[in-house]
Structure 1
Amino acid sequence: MAEAHQAVAFQFTVTPEGIDLQLSHQALSEIYLSGVRSWKKRVIRLKNNVITGVYPASPSSWLFVVIAILATMYTRSDPSMGLIAKIQEHLPVSQSMSSQCQAVLSAVLFSTMLWLLLIFTMRLCLKQLLSYHRWMFEQHGKMSNTTKVWVVLCVKYALVVFVPGSGAHLSGRKPLLYSYQGSLPNLPVPVVKDTVKRYLESVRPLMDDTQYERTTKLAEEFESSLGNRLQWYLKLKSLWAANYVSDWWEEYVYLRGRSPIMVNSNYYGMDFLFVTPTPIQSARAGNSIHSFFLYRRKLNKEEIKPWLLRSAVPCCSYQFERMFHTCRIPGERTDTVQHWQDSDYIVVYHKGRYFRLRVYQAGRLLSPREIEFQIQRILDDPAAPSKGEAHLGALTAGDRIPWAKARTKFFSTGLNKRSLDCIEKAAFFVTLDDDEQGMMGDDPAASLDNYAKNLLHGKCYDRWFDKSFSVVFYKNGKCGINAEHSWADAPVLAHVWEYALATDSFQLGYNTEGHCKGEVDSSLPKPQKLNWEITPECEEQISQSLDVAQKLADDIDFHVFSFQEFGKGKVKKCRVSPDAFIQMCLQLAYFREQNNFCLTYEASMTRLFREGRTETVRSCSNESSAFVRAPDVCRRLLRAASEKHQLLYRMAMTGGGIDRHLFCLYVVSKYLGVESPFLKEVLSEPWRLSTSQTGVQQVELFDLVNHPEYISCGGGFGPVADDGYGVSYSLIGDNMINFHISCKHSCPQTDAHKFGSQIKKALHDIINLLSGAQPEPKKPEAGRPEVKKDQ
């Protein structure tokens, strides 16, 4: 019962003599220090809001303007052209104030208004500068006069500017994480005619003449009638909202989905591929958890550098806001994302039990060694799970409606509500897994596949899939991360994951025995086990959710491999974009395996715009299909396909994509209660090949020259279509490409390992083509196969 006494601030009993009050000094001290810490955060937040609110100016510039105006007054000149006198006339001040004081106060007010006007003007100019994207479409090493003027103006307005093609950097004033938010342009609404034209171009290689003619007719009818009406509403929204896509994308694509988010939505990230910093599970957890809270401290102070495209142009950072103490809350119709301002603890799962672990003591963050000590206490705790507790997490892995109903019925009051609140409000979730994972044993390739599959779904009950992210620590010291998708996209989660891996290994380190460095305060209160009152009816629902999740998990086929025969270094020497190279390899591999083409999804970011998230690059194009179909391997067709892919990618990044526009038009049509056969068909098309690149963002954290073994294998996700593939890839350094391939066993046409073999073959064939080596002979094509409409 020692923990129970630690949890309350005071106890009292009523006696014949009166009230007997027994104060707990330790608890009161914790309350005081928690309050101090909270107020410090508020002050920091207020200060940062002021700094970011006036960027690209600085708060000190206000004093400069005030002094300048006051100085002109003493020279008997009036830069305000009579406005200071007008302000003085209408000042609601006491008659006891001298006229000189009134004049000074009026000058200060005028100076403040002038300063705010200058800031508004500067931000407006900066927004216009950031709306210029033509530089992205210019050839490497060649810069137009317009772009040169743009570079000069960017320097003037204190941006950190990369001169395209020259490698030169010009640094302005150091910005905070959210400094550019108010100056980022809004995502433009494309013209309906352009979107329809690009859509028809994207589906041409997927259809025969009859199907294409029918689709063209539907598109033309939509463009000439309903399209303009729907477009009007989108333009109105774009004038009112910061981003006309993102809120609807979050709600309808993520939060309104009623199927399990495990596998279908959540994704994962892996540990280092070749090294394990320590084989001690609790020690790895100690360093890593401490690293996450160091990152959170930097995030709260906005000390994280804004992400700059090509080390140059700022991107939106709003997704960072909900990284910690955030949870997806189930609802019968739609889920919601709940974010709390602060949390000083994490929740740890181990052998069917949930523990609340405070990471702050007496107002300070626990050291890695102290967190290791607390984690080891959980590992050594012999307590058995409460009745029904062991598989409780399966509720978050199954269908959303049963989970929403169970949450309302069984977890809205009493002990269950308190324990559930503890999980949902935690900074993040931690799983201490009993298994060993990683590239190990007699069959390292198979073990890597199992590692990825485990990170994606685990045992289906040992993760809390609703949390913004869950960190998994395995028995042999390996770790990984699983993330919920609605609150942010993968690059944001990858940013904190890179920081945690680098800080764990290169800054904190371990002693010779593999334990965290530092001393331990053994008087730390033990982690508090959460208690539950699970009824038989609730247990039945948990069991049903587990059955649904287990069937989904068992159906997933995974293959992960690290291709090390060449990498982006060799591809760049062939003057081809590495990303376009990989996409062409995927197109060639898919066609060789399936003998047809499919709608291909490649994720591209739109964070050049305020609150931007993603856009789709339709990688299967007329140019790529022409290259794949070529009877003889043709270098000219490959370059044309790569250039077209780069064009599509840049257009997606700069607001010229088509899928988000079509999606929003469809949402508007639903609000208006009108049916569009064209939009209905577009939104129902399956993405049989869903791809994404995960690159290293903070290359300065990793020394790939002296420590090439300290690289992550990246991460992956489940297949989007039941009869398709999910492919994630990362280009590490100049000589490695990692692939994560997923599909479903239930589809006889897909096989992750066979597709992986086709990718490897395509990589060799295309690099041989580019480098001039003799490729393997290609079997002549018997003829163009008839492609069904839904392919």
Structure 2
Amino acid sequence: MGRAEIWSRSVEQTACYVNELPKLPVPPLERTLQKYEKTLRPLLNEHEQERLHKIVERFGAPGGLGPKLQLYLLDRREKTDNWAYEYWLNDMYLNYREPIPVNCNPGMVMPPRRFTTILDVARFAARLVDAALDHKEVLNWKGLEVERATSREPGQPLCMAQYYRILGACRIPGRTRDSQYVAPPPRNGEQLAEHIIVICRSQLYCVPVQAGDRGRLTEDEICSQLLYILDDAPCLPNPPPVGFLTGWKRSLWAEARADLMKDEINQRNLDLIVKSLLVLCLDEALPNTFNCRLPRGGKGHAAGARDETNLAHQMLHGGGSAHNSANRWFDKTIQLIVSGDGACGLCYEHSNAEGGAVIQLVEKLWKHAESLPLSSEVPNGGHLPPPERLEWTLEPADLKRIEEAGAVLDNLIKDLDFQVYRFTGYGKDFIKSCKVSPDVYLQLALQLAYYRLYGKLTATYESASIRRFRLGRVDCIRSATPEALAWVAAMAQPKEDDIGNKKVTFHLVSDEKKLLLWGEAVAAQTAEMVDNILGQGIDNHLLGLRQAARETSPTAATPLPEIFTDPTYRLANKFLLSTSQVATSGNSFMGYGPVEPDGYGASYNPKGDSIVFCLSAFWSSEVTSTSRFAQALEESLNAMQALLLRPS
């Protein structure tokens, strides 16, 4: 069978699966409004709940604005593949104006390697690139196996679109809204030219790795190109760190980029970066003492080997201007990071794909790179021209912008309170033995931990995959349910307290009652999760209604409906707890920053007998602390186990 025939059959098969994917539904308006009121109930007092009810009632009344906007969305659903996708993408990512490192880009830590020579570094990195080229070839021929749902109506095909938007993709800053570049697929039988960008000691190099007419470089040839860079970059004076601009506020970076593009050399450089397959960052190690500011109530970094928190900082942002942050191009979807001391990982721009798709790719690359021992034989690539080092034409105004961007990035990094916390008391094996979904269990653990610290719940974001639908990405599972509040309040009640010389004993909730409340909280969280993955979440729907109001308003000055201008809407979308499950198959993990100044980021990765949490906050906040949150999590997880193991 010829390759063109394979391509044709593969495209046909993929198209078949795409066509059989249903369109994302528009949930019933009345149900969304009821759920919206319910999700705010734990966050509002009775007076505020009554006021919200009247606002919602007016919005959803027959003949009111809500039903008209619902019809607009239903019409949009008929005319588009996914009525919510553009709304969601713009609102979640492309309209965002703050710096994307820490705030948006996750970092992934892979198990550290042991490099003894510079050849080891080049050889391992070359294998990663070689594996990426293998994967890109599969993408070019539309050869990815279509995944299918494993639960909740199992067997349904899942949308694979985001898997094709990872390699060769880049975010491009705009003054008011960013855009995305995604490499076009090859025409029938065409072999595309491919190149990567390698950054070492702040120097950017373009390395062609596949020519349209001569095929691709071998692993040895890629290795020889990387050896040249590792030898060349340390001998050069430090260049202006242009990469800092990608960590600046988006509108400022857009203005700076527009000025850079006025020069033909700069324009070509930027085009090469945008259209590269990926960026490979050849880093220097962060010192053990990096970010060793004592956590509140915790301990500093241990002496000796770098700890996991230190490694995570390197992958998230590079360590600032004194370390590796100029070795980044934060707009690029995939930045593979290989450090001379063996630290390895990834920083990725989030707008093109979710963590699951990216983790799957990165683990595939690492599995290939680790499959064979590193060869000590020096590769022979002498017939190749050396990689092209990118040089920039910079005016004084450009240099000033780079300096300002670096200062903003440094301040952001200094403010990041980040901790990798491994809970070793138990893991998903125990949780499953309790007949509870690990995701549901850990979401409730996070609610209990937050309540222990603050005596209340907060709007909580958990990403829910909606890949059962055409172009589906995510909706929001809201874990702060009324049922969760009732359970955490019972679990966190004090047993007794001293007031002056008088001892006060509280009316304790029995364990039987706690278990009953636990069952109700589990059921509510499970229902919320299922609703979301089946396309019945409320966040995309409310966003769609808001955007529909804007698109149908008589003038730009027409105010939005009250439901979207009332303070309760801001409260509902102020996610002081931003969470997601980022499961990995090995000993790797992924984390990210908080989305609010006084909030937490909390990713979790359940293993058989442990749970890895990546907790983040900002030091500048007077109310948050990852060390205190980790302690509250430990207490909560232990209390939950004790409750579920109590003698019957």
Match of 2:142 among 302, 313, 325: 302
Q: Which residue number in structure 1 is paired with residue 540 of structure 2?
A: 660
Cα distance change on mapping 1:332 and 1:436 into 2, 3 Å: closer
Structure 2 residue 466 is the aligned partner of structure 1 residue 615: no
Secondary structure of the 1:722 match is coil
Cα distance change on mapping 1:615 and 1:230 into 2, 3 Å: same
Match of 2:66 among 197, 203, 227: 227
Letter in 1 for 2:593: G
Cα distance change on mapping 1:477 and 1:487 into 2, 3 Å: same
Residues in 1 aligned to 2:194 and 2:141: alpha-carbon distance in whole angstroms = 16
Match of 1:765 among 624, 635, 639: 639
Letter in 2 for 1:329: I
Q: Which residue number in structure 1 is paired with residue 456 of structure 2?
A: 596
Secondary structure of the 2:326 match is coil
Match of 1:487 among 346, 352, 357: 352
Residues in 1 aligned to 2:645 and 2:140: alpha-carbon distance in whole angstroms = 49
Cα distance change on mapping 1:364 and 1:565 into 2, 3 Å: farther
Residues in 2 aligned to 1:635 and 1:252: alpha-carbon distance in whole angstroms = 39
Deviation at 1:590, TM superposition (A): 0.6
Letter in 2 for 1:534: L
Secondary structure of the 2:421 match is strand
Q: Which residue number in structure 2 is paired with residue 466 of structure 1?
A: 331
Q: Which residue number in structure 2 is paired with residue 713 of structure 1?
A: 588
Secondary structure of the 2:621 match is coil
Cα distance change on mapping 1:579 and 1:773 into 2, 3 Å: farther
Deviation at 1:446, TM superposition (A): 7.2
Match of 1:739 among 595, 598, 613: 613
Q: Which residue number in structure 2 is paired with residue 559 of structure 1?
A: 419
Residues in 2 aligned to 1:714 and 1:318: alpha-carbon distance in whole angstroms = 24
Contact in 1 for aligned 2:10/2:141 (Cα 8 Å): yes
Q: Which residue number in structure 2 is paired with residue 252 of structure 1?
A: 91
Structure 2 residue 116 is the aligned partner of structure 1 residue 267: no
Deviation at 1:277, TM superposition (A): 5.8
Cα distance change on mapping 1:443 and 1:228 into 2, 3 Å: farther
Q: Which residue number in structure 1 is paired with residue 434 of structure 2?
A: 574
Residues in 1 aligned to 2:378 and 2:259: alpha-carbon distance in whole angstroms = 46
Q: Which residue number in structure 2 is paired with residue 411 of structure 1?
A: 261
Deviation at 1:730, TM superposition (A): 0.9
Cα distance change on mapping 1:335 and 1:367 into 2, 3 Å: same
Match of 2:163 among 320, 327, 335: 320
Q: Aligned residue pairs: how many?
A: 588
Q: Which residue number in structure 1 is paired with residue 12 of structure 2?
A: 50
Residues in 2 aligned to 1:385 and 1:751: alpha-carbon distance in whole angstroms = 42
Residues in 2 aligned to 1:573 and 1:351: alpha-carbon distance in whole angstroms = 50
Cα distance change on mapping 1:571 and 1:510 into 2, 3 Å: same
Question: What TM-score, normalized by structure 2, do the two folds share?
Answer: 0.86
Structure 2 residue 238 is the aligned partner of structure 1 residue 350: no
Contact in 2 for aligned 1:445/1:561 (Cα 8 Å): no
Deviations 1:490-514 (A, max 9, x none): 11111101211222223xx224xx6
The structure, 1 or 2, with the larger RCO (C-alpha pairs under 8 Å, 6+ apart) is 2
Q: Which residue number in structure 2 is paired with residue 641 of structure 1?
A: 521
Match of 2:124 among 281, 284, 288: 284
Deviations 1:384-404 (A, max 9, x none): 6678x4310111100111211
Structure 2 residue 513 is the aligned partner of structure 1 residue 676: no
Deviation at 1:46, TM superposition (A): 4.6
Structure 2 residue 541 is the aligned partner of structure 1 residue 690: no
Deviation at 1:462, TM superposition (A): 2.1
Residues in 2 aligned to 1:443 and 1:44: alpha-carbon distance in whole angstroms = 56
Residues in 1 aligned to 2:517 and 2:289: alpha-carbon distance in whole angstroms = 39
Cα distance change on mapping 1:431 and 1:438 into 2, 3 Å: farther
Secondary structure of the 1:308 match is coil
Residues in 2 aligned to 1:738 and 1:444: alpha-carbon distance in whole angstroms = 22
Letter in 2 for 1:665: L
Match of 2:388 among 518, 525, 528: 528
Letter in 2 for 1:481: L
Secondary structure of the 2:461 match is strand
Residues in 2 aligned to 1:314 and 1:560: alpha-carbon distance in whole angstroms = 35
Cα distance change on mapping 1:446 and 1:51 into 2, 3 Å: closer
Gaps of 5+ in 1: 1-39, 56-179, 700-710, 775-791
Q: Which residue number in structure 1 is paired with residue 605 of structure 2?
A: 730
Pairs within 5 Å for 1:410-489: 410-436=260-286, 442-443=302-303, 447-458=307-318, 459=320, 460-489=325-354
Contact in 2 for aligned 1:600/1:691 (Cα 8 Å): yes
Cα distance change on mapping 1:635 and 1:357 into 2, 3 Å: same
Structure 2 residue 384 is the aligned partner of structure 1 residue 498: no
Shifted more, 443-452 versus 566-575: the winner is 443-452
Deviation at 1:561, TM superposition (A): 2.0
Letter in 1 for 2:219: P
Structure 2 residue 404 is the aligned partner of structure 1 residue 544: yes
Q: Which residue number in structure 2 is paired with residue 334 of structure 1?
A: 177
Cα distance change on mapping 1:43 and 1:484 into 2, 3 Å: farther
Cα distance change on mapping 1:439 and 1:549 into 2, 3 Å: closer
Percent identity of the aligned residues?
29
Q: Which has the larger radius of gyration?
A: 1
Deviation at 1:608, TM superposition (A): 0.5
Residues in 1 aligned to 2:600 and 2:628: alpha-carbon distance in whole angstroms = 12
Question: What TM-score, normalized by structure 1, do the two folds share?
Answer: 0.71
Shifted more, 764-773 versus 364-373: the winner is 364-373
Pairs within 5 Å for 1:134-213: 180-213=17-50
Cα distance change on mapping 1:658 and 1:317 into 2, 3 Å: same
Residues in 1 aligned to 2:647 and 2:218: alpha-carbon distance in whole angstroms = 56
RMSD between aligned alpha carbons?
A: 2.4
Q: Which residue number in structure 2 is paired with residue 399 of structure 1?
A: 249
Deviations 1:369-390 (A, max 9, x none): 3322221211110576678x43
Contact in 2 for aligned 1:436/1:475 (Cα 8 Å): no
Residues in 1 aligned to 2:6 and 2:410: alpha-carbon distance in whole angstroms = 46
Cα distance change on mapping 1:476 and 1:368 into 2, 3 Å: farther
Contact in 1 for aligned 2:460/2:579 (Cα 8 Å): yes
Residues in 1 aligned to 2:5 and 2:385: alpha-carbon distance in whole angstroms = 30
Cα distance change on mapping 1:375 and 1:763 into 2, 3 Å: same
Deviations 1:146-171 (A, max 9, x none): xxxxxxxxxxxxxxxxxxxxxxxxxx
Gaps of 5+ in 2: 185-191, 291-300, 491-507, 554-558
Q: Which residue number in structure 2 is paired with residue 100 of structure 1?
A: none
Residues in 2 aligned to 1:369 and 1:439: alpha-carbon distance in whole angstroms = 36
Deviation at 1:271, TM superposition (A): 0.2
Deviations 1:510-546 (A, max 9, x none): 24xx65x895333222111111111111101111122
Contact in 2 for aligned 1:386/1:531 (Cα 8 Å): no
Residues in 1 aligned to 2:121 and 2:614: alpha-carbon distance in whole angstroms = 25
Letter in 1 for 2:121: Q
Q: Which residue number in structure 2 is paired with residue 174 of structure 1?
A: none
Residues in 2 aligned to 1:562 and 1:524: alpha-carbon distance in whole angstroms = 47
Contact in 1 for aligned 2:148/2:156 (Cα 8 Å): yes
Deviation at 1:679, TM superposition (A): 1.9
Contact in 1 for aligned 2:286/2:314 (Cα 8 Å): no
Contact in 1 for aligned 2:315/2:345 (Cα 8 Å): yes
Residues in 2 aligned to 1:213 and 1:457: alpha-carbon distance in whole angstroms = 45
Residues in 1 aligned to 2:316 and 2:137: alpha-carbon distance in whole angstroms = 28
